[in-house]
Amino acid sequence: MSENAQDQKAQDQGVKTETAEGSGSVIDKSKRKNLLLGFGAAVVLVGAIWGIYEAFIAEGTVSTDNAYVAAENAEVTPLTSGRVVEVLVTDTQPVKRGQLLFRIDDADQKIVLAEAEANLARAKRMYGQSLANNQALGAAADANQAQINTARANQAAARADLTKAQSDFARRNELAGTGAVSIEELTTARQALDSAKAAYEQAQASLKQAQASAVSARRQEQAAVALTEGTTLKTAPEIQLAQAQYDKARLDLERTVVRAPIDGVVSKRTIQVGQKVQNGEAAMIIVPVGKLYVDANFKEDKLGNVRSGQSAKLTSDFYGGDVVYHGKVVGFSGGTGAAFSLIPAQNATGNWIKVVQRLPVRIELDPAELAAHPLRVGLSMEAEIDLSSKD
């Protein structure tokens, strides 16, 4: 056989081999059709399951992962000024209500209290003096009234003396022309008449003076009594004022000892020993970890069927999905976060773009579950509200 014939035969055998190998890698058309049908059926089944879930299960709940733990924190602020002499707690330390937190130097408050106590004692003594003065003025007014009676008696006596002197003078004056009465006797009668007139006028003036003195004394008594009338040692205004100042001074002294207003954990302690603190200056914050709640921010188009009292399930990133908290909806915020922001959005512009807003929904947590798995303010949560639960 020639070389050309052998080469041609070798080439033919190679082509057959390649054809045979290629036919083995090609999927049979019938099997490929079955695979496509199976894949399509699986897609349809998954879609049907998802549709059933959305129609019967998902429609009964709303959920969000935009939720955070919050609490009504207690800010500890001293109500009196002074230098801090002792701090008994640190950050992260649990405290009980009424537990001593820190002390303020009370030297100034003790001095003010002593001064207020002295003023109170003085006010009580002054009140007693006023009562005694009222009695003295009343006695003086009564004495002046007695003087009026004496002046009236003196006036009556002077009137009688004047009448007698007038009669004696008139009788002697009639007899003067007959020579029965001497000039000297007539002169004496005239002098007696003049003396009686003067005595009468003096008696009248004394009566008027006694009456005026009695009126003045009675008015002084009334003015003094008006300051204490209807009052007692406890209800007198000046004593109440002194008592109020004393109570304030004592309260300021008590406020130099600062105690925890609630149970919780100390956070953000800002005071140190030796620091001068002012009235109302924040010293620390106490977080009531046993009374936490969750603010869940739901999209506005998910809240149409959410009502207060509905139950909720929550999980925390802190513990993971193994720990489930149970709570209930207790209320809704009065507005969105954008509405209460420092610079609210101005939507009346030409380039406005609608953004779905979120409204905070407050969910109350079960205290027993919080005690078993404590949380802290600010932790992330996932919340799911059961819309089928009753209010």
In this prediction, residue 161 carries a pLDDT of 84
**CA-CA distance, 264 to 374, in Å (whole number)?**
12
Q: Which pLDDT score is estimated for 390?
A: 66
User: Of 212, 202, 190, which Cα lies nearest the Cα of 159?
Assistant: 202
CB-CB neighbours of 199 under 10 Å: 18
Q: Which domains are seen in the chain, by residue range?
A: 61-72+288-386 (2.40.30.170), 74-106+255-286 (2.40.50.100), 109-250 (1.10.287.620)
Residue 3: the pLDDT is 47
Sheet holding 284-287, edge to edge: 74-76, 284-287, 264-267, 94-95
Given a contact cutoff of 8 angstroms between Cβ atoms, the answer to whether 327 and 312 are in contact is yes
Residue 18: per-residue pLDDT: 47
Q: What is the mean pLDDT of each run of 10 residues along the chain (391 residues)?
A: 49 48 53 74 78 60 92 94 95 95 96 96 89 80 80 86 83 73 78 86 85 80 77 86 95 95 95 94 93 92 89 92 93 81 69 82 93 92 87 56
Q: How many CB atoms are located within 10 Å of the residue 324 CB?
A: 13
What is the structure's pLDDT at 23?
46
Residue pair 109/82 in contact (Cβ under 8 Å)? The answer is yes
Task: Tell me which residue has tokens 């890698």.
Answer: 25
Say which residues have a Cβ less than 8 Å from residue 57's Cβ, sequence separation at least 6: none
Is 120 exposed, middle or buried, given 0-12, 13-18 or 19+ CB atoms closer than 10 A? buried
CA–CA separation, 294 and 69 (whole Å): 5
Helix (H) / strand (E) element for 76: namely strand 74-76
> What pTM does this model have?
0.62
Helices assigned H by DSSP within 231-275: 237-254
